[in-house]
Structure 1
Amino acid sequence: MQFENYTLDNGLTVLLHHDPERTVVTVNVLYKVGSRNDPPHRTGFAHLFEHLMFAGSRNVPNFDDALQLAGGENNAVTSSDHTLYYDVLPAENVETALWLESDRMRQLRFSQRSLDNEKRVVVEEFRETCLEQPYGDLYHHFNALIYRQHPYRWPVIGQDISHIQQTTLAEVKAFYARYYRPDNAILCLAGSFDPLTIRERIAHWFGDIPGSDPELPRPVIAPEPEQDAPRQLTVYGEVPSPVVYLHFRTVDRLHPDFPATDVLSFLLGGGRSSWLYRRLVRETELFAEVSAGINDNLEHGGIIVEARPSEDVDYADARQALFTAIDALVEQGIGDEELAKVIHQLEQRNHYREANISNRANELVFYAALGQPELVNTEMESYLSLTVAELNRVARKYLVPQRRVALEYLSAPARP
């Protein structure tokens, strides 16, 4: 992927990926603020602020209306580490997106009315997804079990509904002043635009936005201590069936072992031919579903396993079979054929993502947030060069009980 990368005088990082064959352009703005930056008494704050960013700015009463009039669409997502805003619109209207994004970076419109409205929306979302759904409070329990000190210990939506309800306008303004500054943001354009004038237009809209106030430093987050013993929690509730969630602590996103842990998660539970699916679903029928994936937080990542036992099986037997199957992968090791198959799947996934211009923008802005945008082109090399010996070393190092967290959901015992 060809791209340009430069920085404005106010600290705004800019990435340009020009593709003249496209008829649309994607404009992404990533702010390096997520739930990890929530004050402990205001968890869910970064997610609430994402909603407030659509409530109007100095010259734009309604962000969505202005973008739709230009034939565009938009959305946003908050993660533990970042908040990403993205617009997709006809290429000839790219300047509309630049105007809209710069206006809300320059001066968001604050009012008690808009704050109260967005608090109601987020509180209702909290109730619907966390309190009224089976397993809805998963990450309230799971995150707190995995992390003891780091802000990753609360979910993106927040730990307690009262934290959102009690948010004040003064706190919102302070959060905006601290984190929503150009030197804490990345602007990425991908698709069709005029490469001869785009830098000048970006400078026109963003160049004079003030950077961060040195009187408002961003708090430093201390690293999470190493986990040296297994952790386990059983949650009883009104759930349709038992579920086991496992997390094995691995590495930071830029650690040299990350590609191997990602591949290991695919081998473990990435589809119907994966190690756990074959042994627990197809061969023994102890489980109805089993899958694995990667927790790719910037720090203190992990491999996550979700396993749902079949109906009418002994839960204790199924649970033990899950642990035994993971131990067997570590003991028996992974062969060349299995590794080659997973690498092929990863290459297919990578090519599929690159076909969509919005996916290209998302990938590019993510790697820029890591401080290494060139990884968008080079990280796959780390995957392709993996060996069976390296993968088995990583399995022996990380898929061990002392790095394991186990959260079990069980139906509440019947009352006498």
Structure 2
Amino acid sequence: MVNFRRIVLDNGMIVLMHADDSTPLAAVNLLFRAGSKYDPIAKSGLAHLFEHLMFSGTPLVPEFDTPIQEAGGENNAYTNSDYANYYSYGPAKNLDTLLWLEADRMHNLNVSQSALELQQQVVIEELHETCLNVPYGDIWHHVLPLIYKDHPYQWPVIGRDEKEIGDISLQDISAFHQQYYQAGNAILAIAGNIDLDKTADTIHQYFGSLPGTKKDVQTYLFDLKGYQPQRLGLTSGVPVEAFYMIFPMPERNSQAFYALDLFSDLLVDGRSSILYQNLIKETQLLSTVDAYITGTLDSGLFIIEGRLTHGVRIEQVEHQIWQILDQQIGHAVNPSTMEKLKNNVESAIVFSEAGTLNKAMNLAFFELIGDAALINDEARLYHEIGEYTMREVASQYLRPELASIFHYVK
């Protein structure tokens, strides 16, 4: 059980605090509703680029990392489709420093033209190293615009291409900062060896005077009646042929999310899993196989992917997968198998809450999706999914008429 206190500052910032006197550490997690789906049109990659620029320094702190390291702490950040997340941790006695640094850069970030151009080059190099110059690395550049035609999930977090990243101006950065990196659009979570009342006073002192307005979050739901599946062959010099079978699925807050997450585990949970045993060990159609969900806040994706054994045709693989799905959806799952799936999920949830930093990060995330109390309730939501419900939900979303197929041809 992760007990926490929730307060809302007058400027709209949501604050979550968890006290734990068993650790000498304190962690600070600052989340902004500022993921890549908020990138301006034709300026894709701005949210991710802005994350890089948040380390540019301020007039008072030219080098953000230096005072954190001097305080015995560490920090990092990441951006995804829905939000940007910044975290730091260190000795609890230095929590004041961690909070002051976040408040300072949140309000006084100093980005020069040279800093912008430098980070644009860094991101463009990252685009090549992780997407364009590695086998299969450009898959999301092909998948997303075809699946999400009317939603800003249609571009990857890193950006569509060099041009759009390079076209981002200092004015774009300033506007994004003012619109999304303000208190009313932020969730601050602190966990560790803290005094709740004193920490609340410190937060009011550093963050209470920052400007803030409530930022409405737009959501998008798939209309399955209007959805058109896609089929695309890709040629990009890959070492072996690969495929991605992709289905649209409901948003993160949907009950169907939990059912489909369990179903993906049923398909690929270990070497005894159904897909491994059938497609790799028995038929030897594939050399690797995986199934997973994206878990985005708006409508997500259920994905089955694999790499073909030499000489195997994609039609053979598709036929075998449909047979497997029909078998799993059409027949009851053994109770011991369901129990194992749920136990594995619960173990993963418990492990994710083991560390001080993880607690802060999870509190902020669950607040983002609607209720921080889900940090203590999500295991129950998985356990409440019966095997019939799991199969019924899978039958609704994992249908041939909803499957988009992306095939890398050697």
TM-score interval (norm. to shorter): over 0.9
Matched, 1:191 2:208: no
| Native 8 Å contact 2:44 2:158 kept in 1 | yes
1:231-270 correspondence runs (5 A): 231-270=230-269
User: Which consecutive unaligned segments of at least 5 residues does structure 1 have?
Assistant: 412-416
Q: Indicate how the Cα distance of structure 1 residues 29 and 359 shifts in structure 2: closer, same or farther if over 3 A, else same.
A: same
Tell me, in whole angstroms, the C-alpha distance in 1 between the residues paired with 2:232 and 2:99.
Answer: 48
Q: Which whole-Å CA distance do the structure 2 matches of 1:401 and 1:393 have between them?
A: 15
Report Cα offsets for 1:160-196 as digits up to 9, x if no partner. 2111111111111011011000000011001112234
Preserved CA contact (<8 Å) 1:330 1:399:
no
Post-superposition shift, 1:135? Answer: 1.0
User: CA RMSD for the aligned pairs?
Assistant: 1.7
Do 2:221 and 2:251's aligned partners in 1 also have CA atoms closer than 8 Å?
no
Measured in 2, the distance between the counterparts of 1:70 and 1:373 equals 29
2:352 corresponds to which residue? 353
Q: Cα gap change, 1:295/1:222 in structure 2, threshold over 3 Å: closer, same or farther?
A: closer
What's the TM-score once normalised by structure 1's chain length? 0.94
Distance in 1 between residues matched to 2:52 and 2:190, nearest whole Å: 23
Cross-structure match for 2:182: 181
* Displacement of 1:10: 0.7
Q: Deviation digits for residues 256-298 of structure 1, max 9, x if unmatched?
A: 2221111111112233222211211122222111111111010
Distance 1:256 1:219 in 2: 20
Structure 2 unaligned segments of length 5 or more: list them: none
Q: Deviations over 1:69-101 (max 9, x none)?
A: 111111100000000000011111111110110
- Tell me: CA distance 1:314–1:221, structure 2 relative to 1, closer, same or farther (3 Å): closer
Q: Distance in 2 between matches of 1:178 and 1:218?
A: 11
Instruction: Name the amino acid aligned to 1:346.
Output: V
CA distance in 2, matches of 1:319, 1:210: 54
Q: Residue by residue, what CA displacement relative to the aligned partner does 1:181-238 show, whole Å, maximum 9, x if unpaired?
A: 00000110011122341111111111111113x9xx7785665543544321111111
Superposition deviation, residue 326 in structure 1: 2.3
> 1:120 maps to which residue?
121
Aligned identity (percent) is 38
**Does structure 1 retain, via aligned residues, the 8 Å contact 2:221–2:250?**
no
Say if 1:247 and 1:305, in contact at 8 Å, map to a contact too: yes
Name the SS of the counterpart of 1:197 in structure 2: helix
Map 1:89-128 onto structure 2 (within 5 A).
Answer: 89-128=90-129
Q: State the distance in 2 between where 1:372 and 1:220 align.
A: 18
Deviation (angstroms), 1:314: 4.2
1:12 aligns with 2:6: no
The 5 A counterparts of 1:388-407 are: 388-407=387-406
Q: Which residue of 1 aligns with 2:169?
A: 168
- Provide the C-alpha distance between the structure 2 equivalents of 1:222 and 1:331, rounded to a whole number of angstroms: 31
> What is the distance in 2 between the residues matched to 1:315 and 1:398?
22
Tell whether the 8 Å contact from 2:222 to 2:250 is kept in structure 1 after alignment.
no
Give, in whole Å, the separation in 1 of the partners of 2:216 and 2:331.
47
Q: CA deviation at 1:44?
A: 0.5
CA shift in 2, pair 1:4/1:408, >3 Å: same
Does 1:73 find its partner at 2:67?
A: no
Contact 1:229 1:401 in 2 (8 A): no
Give 1:337 deviation, angstroms.
2.5
2:313 & 2:140 partners in 1: Cα distance? 26
Give the length in aligned residue pairs. Answer: 408
Q: Does 1:204 align with 2:184?
A: no
Is 1:337 matched with 2:336?
yes
Contact 1:295 1:302 in 2 (8 A): yes
Greater mean deviation of Cα atoms: 105-114 or 76-85 = 105-114
SS in 2 for 1:374: helix
Superposed, 1:292-307 pairs within 5 Å as: 292-307=291-306
Q: Is the 8 A contact 1:37 1:46 kept in 2?
A: yes
Q: Matched residue of 1:114: which SS? A: helix
Any idea what the Cα deviations from partners look like across 1:327-373, whole Å, max 9, x if unmatched? 32223343323211111111111122121222222211100111211
Q: Kindly tell me: are residues 347 and 224 of structure 1, through their superposed partners in 2, closer, same or farther at Cα, counting changes over 3 Å?
A: closer
Partner AA of 2:397 in structure 1: Y
User: Is the alpha carbon distance of 1:335 and 1:145 closer, same or farther for their aligned partners in structure 2, counting shifts above 3 Å?
Assistant: farther
CA contact 1:270–1:292 (8 Å) conserved in 2: no
Normalised by the length of structure 2, the TM-score is 0.95
User: Which position in structure 2 is the counterpart of 1:414?
Assistant: none
